[in-house]
A and B are shown apart, each in its own frame.
Chain A
Amino acid sequence: MHHTEIGDNPLALPRIHPAPLKRKPHWPVRDLIVIGIFAAVVKIASLGIALIGGGMNPLTLLAKNAVFTSLLVVLLHKVPRFGTLTLFIGVSAIVSLLLMGNAAILLPVSLASALLSELIIMIAGGYSRTTGILLGVAVYDLASKGISLGLSWLIMREQPALLLTISAMVGFGYLGALAGLGSGHLFVKELRHAGIVRQ
């Protein structure tokens, strides 16, 4: 508040001129905060499941993927706009890069997969349709896993037997991701009932 004008009437309330603000940004702070919070929840949930399950074994692999896709489905219903998935993946990768440094190789792969799945969501009817979101998340998980396996093949091409094991584990994990789509859909229903997700 910068200027006040009292005029002739001393009892009149001062007229307030608010400070000039910049034009409204494309991404509201509210949405950015939700994305940040979900990135934290996904990170801690994955870590917690890995610690409770004692590393990456079949059960934790299923649970981790299921929780990840469930949370992704909830996030895309809460912030239904183009770019949410890409931003979520980008932010998670940047924080991982700063703290652990191991996300550098997978960052471009994840971003490409996120963009691809966002395009699929748009083709499937946009973010207003649950089917499109579920399809997009399924494609994202498949694409990111597929491209990561492609990169792994580049590294392990001398010993394809090792890639076979990894592919089997990734495929098994994808079953968990598909199960997570169903639980994510149920979550969204509950959240709609509670008035937290309005879409």
Chain B
Amino acid sequence: MQASFASDSTMPKSFPTTLDVRTKLFLCVLCSLSAIILTSPLALSPLLAASALYALSTKNIKKVLTAYTVVLLMLSVSAVFIVLLDMIWPELAQMEFRLFLTPFLRIGLMLNVVLGLALTSRIQSLLMALKSLRLPSLIYIPASVMIRFIPTFFNDAKQVLQALKIRGYPLTLRTTLLRPLHSLRVLFAPLVFRALRSSDDLAMAAELKGIGLTGSIVPHRRQTLRPRDMMVLALALGLAAVSFFIQARCGGFSIGMH
């Protein structure tokens, strides 16, 4: 997640950066729940348009477009498999355009809000938001570590790939396709080793800091929801209500079935 690398100095000033992380988390939850329930492309379109504006307002156009390209590639490969399935077993694969469009719109909606969160939030803010949910330490500590570890894992993966290249085994698409199991092994075995080493280091650091032994932790900065957060929340709820209204008028409600 790009959020892992974001810091105040490197982040371009944009509208989403001024929002509270809890607002952005709420947008993610609201949009993904709406994406599960809504089935009509028309009903999904208001939320999709607003979320696209939200993602583009991060001013990271290149990264947003890269994410879209990756998702498009992924969906294209999936579509090829559906076409193959249709050739083998035509009763099971339905080749209607609408059945391809709705999942794409859902993925686009969720991608937009997750990009808005990831490109404009600092890890520290995410951790503080988790803390403000008053979860027990049993949940809070692993959840924080999980979010915090993601950038370290990406760095580890980069180092492992570089090491493979130096040793004369570059992990390209060709080698992955020709020897998938071997590629998986040479990539994942060192990554698991490094992850376990990192967990030992982190555990030592946490124990030295006394994490888990003290009852109350006072946050460095207190997070408060500002009027603009309230406005965004109200707008999101309003748009979701409009989408549900369109769904009720045009398509009715069904989860997962048409």
Contacts and interface: CB of A to CB of B under 8 A. Distances in A.
Contact of A29 (B25, B32, B176, B207): B207
Interface centre among A36, A59, A162 (most CB of B within 10 A): A36
Interface string B69-80: 010011111100
Contacts of A36: 141-146, 149
A11 B143 CA distance: 49
Interface of A is mostly: helix
Given A32-B141, A191-B196, A196-B196, A54 B212 contact: no
Interface stretch (A37-45, A107-115, A127-135): A37-45
Contact of B195 (A38, A59, A95, A105): A38
B195 A41 contact: yes
Contacts of B145: 32-33, 35-37, 40
B147 interface: yes
Given A44-B153, A55-B81, A71-B192, A33 B28 contact: no
Interface stretch (A1-9, A96-104, A139-147): A96-104
B198 A37 contact: yes
B139 A90 contact: yes
Given A91-B139, A98-B29, A99-B28, A67 B197 contact: no
B78 A37 contact: no
Contacts of B28: 98-101
A91 B195 contact: no
A156 B255 CA distance: 9
Contacts, number: 171
B213 A95 contact: no
A59 B80 CA distance: 14
B119 interface: no
B257 A97 contact: no
A83 to B, nearest CB: 9
A44 B92 CA distance: 31
Contacts of B32: 100-102
A59 B202 CA distance: 35
A138 interface: no
A162 B188 CA distance: 34
Interface string A24-35: 010111101111
A122 interface: no
Nearest to B36: A102
Interface in A34-87: 34-41, 43-45, 50-57, 59, 63, 67, 70-71, 74, 78, 87
A40 to B, nearest CB: 4
A197 B92 CA distance: 46
A90 B141 CA distance: 13
A91 B256 contact: no
Contacts of A78: 196
* Pairs A-B, 9 closest by C-beta atoms: A54-B77, A36-B145, A101-B32, A36-B142, A55-B78, A30-B203, A101-B29, A29-B212, A32-B141
